[in-house]
Chain A
Amino acid sequence: MTNTISRRDFLKLGGAATAALAVGQMLPPLVAQAARETGQIDEQGDGFISSMCEMCVWRCGLIAKIKEGRVVKLDGNPEHPHSRGNLCPRGQSGLMNTYDPDRVLTPLIRVGQRGEGKFRKASWDEALDLVAGKMLEIKEKYGPEAMVFSSTHNLSQVQFENLLYAYGSPNYGTQRSLCFNAMITAFLLTYGIEEPARNYENADYILMVGRNMMEAISTSETAELSHALDRGAKLVYLDPRFTKTAAKASEWIPIRPGTDSAFLLAMINVITQNELANCEFVKKYVQGCDDLAEAMQRYTPAWAEQITGVPAATIERIAREYAAAQHNAMAHPGWRTSNFINSFQTERAIATLNALSGNVLKVGGCLSTEVAAEGAGLGAPPQPAYPRISALRLDGTPWKYPLVPLKLGVFQELRDAIVSGEPYQAHGWFIARQNPVSSLPDRQKTLKAFEKMDFIVTIDIIMNDTAWFSDVILPEASYLERYDPLLPVGDKAFLRQPVIEPQGEAKSALWIYKQLGERLGLGEYFQYTDEEDYIRQQLAPLGISLEEVKEKGYAEMPEAEKSEGELIFNTPSGKIEVYSETLKNAGFSPWPTWEEPLMPAEGEFYLLTGKVAQHTQFGTQNNQLLHKYSDEPRLWMNAKTAAEKGLSDGEWVEITSPVGTAHSLLLVTQAIRPDCVYLTPGYGHISKGLTTAFGVGASDSALHVTYTDPISGGQALSQTFVTVKKA
Chain B
Amino acid sequence: MTTDTIKHKAYLFDATRCIDCRACMVACSVENNIPMDKTRIWVAGIGVKGEYPNLERATMVAHCMHCEHPDCMSACPVGAYSKAADGPVSYNADVCIGCRYCMNACAFGVPHFDYDKGLVDGAFIDKCTMCPQRIYNGQEPACVATCPTDALEYGEREELLKKAHERIAAHTDRYIDHVYGEFEKGGTSYLILSHVPFKELGLPEMTEQPINETTETIMEGTIPFAVGWAAVLTAVAGVSRVINKKKETATAKKEAAPHTEAKQ
Question: In the complex, how many angstroms separate the beta carbon of B173 from the nearest chain A beta carbon?
Answer: 10
A92 to B22, CA, bound (A): 10
| C-alpha gap A3/B20 in the complex (Å) | 10
A613 and B19 contacting across the interface, CB-CB below 8 Å: yes
**B46, B139, B145 pick with most chain A CB within 10 angstroms:** B145
For residue A7, CB closer than 8 A to chain B, the reply is yes
Stretch at the interface among A104-112, A218-226, A564-572: A218-226
Question: Is B30's CB under 8 angstroms from A10's CB?
Answer: no
Which B residues are in CB contact (< 8 Å) with A246? 55
Chain A positions within 8 Å of B52 at CB level: 242, 254, 638-640, 670-674
> Is there a chain B Cβ closer than 8 Å to A85's Cβ?
yes
Do residues B37 and A88 form an inter-chain contact, with CB atoms below 8 A?
no
Q: Does B258 contact A (CB under 8 A)?
A: no
In Å, the complex CA distance between A509 and B17 comes to 39
Binding stretch for chain A, among B71-79, B146-154, B222-230, B242-250: B146-154
Q: With A23-B30, A669-B48 as known contacts, state yes or no: A226 contacts B148, CB within 8 Å.
A: yes
When each residue 115-128 of chain B gets 1 if its CB lies under 8 Å from chain A and 0 otherwise, what string results? 01000000000000
The dominant DSSP class at the A interface is mixed
Bound complex: CA of A641 vs CA of B142, how far in Å?
A: 42
A86 / chain B contacts, CB cutoff of 8 Å: 23, 145-148
B29 within 8 A of A: yes
A252:B19 contact, CB within 8 angstroms:
no
Given A92-B27, A95-B30, are A613 and B35 also a contact pair (CB < 8 Å)? Answer: no
Option from A18, A93, A222 in Cβ contact (under 8 Å) with B148: A222
For residue B148, which residues in chain A have a CB less than 8 angstroms away from its CB? 86-88, 217, 219, 222-223, 226
Q: Is A17 an interface residue (CB 8 A)?
A: yes
B253 in the interface, Cβ–Cβ < 8 Å? no
User: Taking the nearest CB of chain A, how far is it from the CB of B193, in angstroms?
Assistant: 11
A3 in contact with B19 given A254-B53, A640-B52 (CB within 8 Å): no
Across the interface, A18 reaches (CB within 8 A) one of B36, B142, B146, namely B36
A73–B146 touching, CB < 8 Å: no
Q: A5: nearest residue on chain B (CB-CB)?
A: B43
Q: Which residues of A contact B53 (CB under 8 A)?
A: 242, 252, 254
> A629 to B25, Cβ gap below 8 A?
yes
A705, chain B: closest CB distance, angstroms: 27
CA distance A87 to B23 in the complex (A): 7
CB distance from A308 to the nearest CB of B (A): 13
B residues near A628, Cβ cutoff 8 Å? 29, 36, 39
Within 8 Å of chain B (Cβ to Cβ): is A173?
no
Q: Contacts A23-B30, A242-B48, A671-B55; is A613 near B21 (CB within 8 Å)?
A: yes
CB of B69 within 8 Å of the partner chain:
no
Q: Is the CB of A73 within 8 A of B150?
A: no
> In the assembly, what is the distance between CA of A673 and CA of B55, in Å?
12
A232 to B167, CA, bound (A): 12
Interface size class of A (residues with CB under 8 A): 35 or more
State in angstroms the CA–CA spacing of A613 and B23 once bound together.
Answer: 9
Q: Report yes or no: A23 in contact with B55, Cβ–Cβ below 8 A.
A: no
* Per-position 1/0 for A625-640, Cβ under 8 A of B: 1101110000000111
State whether B23 touches A74 (Cβ < 8 A).
no
Q: Is B189 an interface residue (CB 8 A)?
A: no
Residue of B nearest to A223 (CB): B148
A6 located at the interface, meaning its Cβ lies under 8 Å from any Cβ of chain B in the complex: yes
Judging by beta carbons under 8 Å apart, are B37 and A671 in contact? Answer: no
A592 adjacent to chain B (CB < 8 Å): no
Shortest distance between the CB of A340 and any CB in chain B (Å): 21
Instruction: Tell me how far the C-beta of A82 lies from the nearest C-beta in chain B, rounded to whole angstroms.
Output: 11
Do A624 and B37 have beta carbons less than 8 Å apart? no
B35/A18 in contact, CB under 8 A = yes
CA distance A626 to B30 in the complex (A): 11
Does B59 lie at the interface of the complex (its beta carbon under 8 Å from any beta carbon of A)? yes
Known: A92-B146, A670-B51. A21 touches B44 (CB 8 A): no
- Residues of chain B contacted by A14 (CB below 8 angstroms): 37, 116
B178 at the interface (CB under 8 A from A): no
**Chain A positions 624-672 with a Cβ under 8 Å from a chain B Cβ:** 624-626, 628-630, 638-640, 669-672
* Interface membership of A247, Cβ < 8 A: yes
When the two chains form their complex, are residues B56 and A247 in contact, meaning their CB atoms are under 8 A apart?
A: yes
> Which residue of chain B lies nearest to A639 when distances are taken between CB atoms in the complex?
B52
A601 lies within 8 A of chain B by Cβ:
no
Q: Check: B45 CB closer than 8 A to any chain A CB.
A: yes
Question: When chains A and B are docked, how far (Å) is the Cα of A85 from the Cα of B31?
Answer: 15
- The chain B residue sitting closest to A95, CB to CB, is B30
A537 to chain B, nearest CB (A): 35
A363: chain B residues within 8 A (beta carbon)? none
Residues on A with C-beta less than 8 A from B20 are 4, 244, 613
What A residues does B17 contact at CB under 8 A?
A: 226, 230
Task: Select A88's contact among B21, B38, B55, B171, beta carbons within 8 Å.
Answer: B21
Residue A214 lies at the interface, judged by CB distance under 8 Å to chain B = yes
Q: Answer yes or no: B132 CB below 8 A from chain A CBs.
A: no
The verdict on A214 contacting B19 (CB below 8 Å), with A1-B48, A15-B37 known, is yes
Instruction: Name the B residues within 8 Å of A252 (CB-CB).
Output: 53, 55
Q: Which of B20, B21, B27, B116 has the most CB of A within 10 A?
A: B21
Q: Known: A23-B30, A242-B48. Contact between A10 and B150, CB under 8 A?
A: no
Q: How far is the CA of A5 from the CA of B145 in the complex (A)?
A: 22
A670-B55 CB under 8 A given contacts A7-B39, A87-B146, A217-B148? yes
Q: Are A242 and B55 in contact (CB under 8 A)?
A: yes
| B64 → chain A closest CB, angstroms | 13
Give the distance in Å from the alpha carbon of A624 to the alpha carbon of B38 in the complex.
12
Task: Check: A24 CB closer than 8 A to any chain B CB.
Answer: yes
- A46 interface residue per 8 A CB criterion: no
Tell whether, in the assembled complex, residue A217 and residue B21 are in contact, meaning their CB atoms are under 8 Å apart.
yes
Known: A4-B43, A671-B55. A17 touches B36 (CB 8 A): yes
Measured CB to CB, the closest approach of chain B to A239, in angstroms, equals 11
- Measured CB to CB, the closest approach of chain A to B251, in angstroms, equals 64
* Binary B-proximity of A669-682 (CB < 8 A = 1, otherwise 0): 11111100000000
Judging by beta carbons under 8 Å apart, are B30 and A73 in contact? yes
- Interface residue from B35, B46, B48, B142 paired with A73 (Cβ < 8 Å): B142
Q: By the criterion CB–CB under 8 Å, are A7 and B42 in contact?
A: yes
Known A-B contacts A244-B57, A625-B26, A670-B50; A5 and B37 likewise in contact (beta carbons under 8 Å): no
Name A11's closest neighbour in chain B (CB-CB): B37
Contacting residues of chain A (61-91) with chain B, CB-CB under 8 angstroms: 72-76, 85-89, 91
> Can you report 30 A-B residue pairs in the complex whose CB atoms are below 8 A from each other?
A1-B47, A1-B48, A4-B45, A5-B43, A7-B39, A10-B38, A18-B35, A75-B146, A86-B145, A87-B146, A89-B21, A89-B22, A92-B23, A92-B146, A95-B30, A214-B19, A217-B148, A222-B19, A223-B150, A230-B16, A230-B17, A242-B57, A244-B57, A254-B52, A625-B29, A638-B52, A640-B52, A670-B48, A670-B51, A673-B52
- Which A-B residue pairs are the 10 nearest by beta carbons? A247-B57, A17-B36, A226-B149, A92-B26, A613-B21, A214-B19, A1-B48, A89-B23, A4-B43, A3-B47
19 further contact pairs, Cβ within 8 A, besides A5-B42, A219-B148: A11-B112, A15-B116, A23-B30, A23-B33, A75-B139, A85-B145, A86-B148, A87-B27, A89-B23, A92-B146, A214-B19, A215-B21, A230-B17, A244-B19, A639-B52, A640-B52, A669-B48, A670-B51, A673-B52
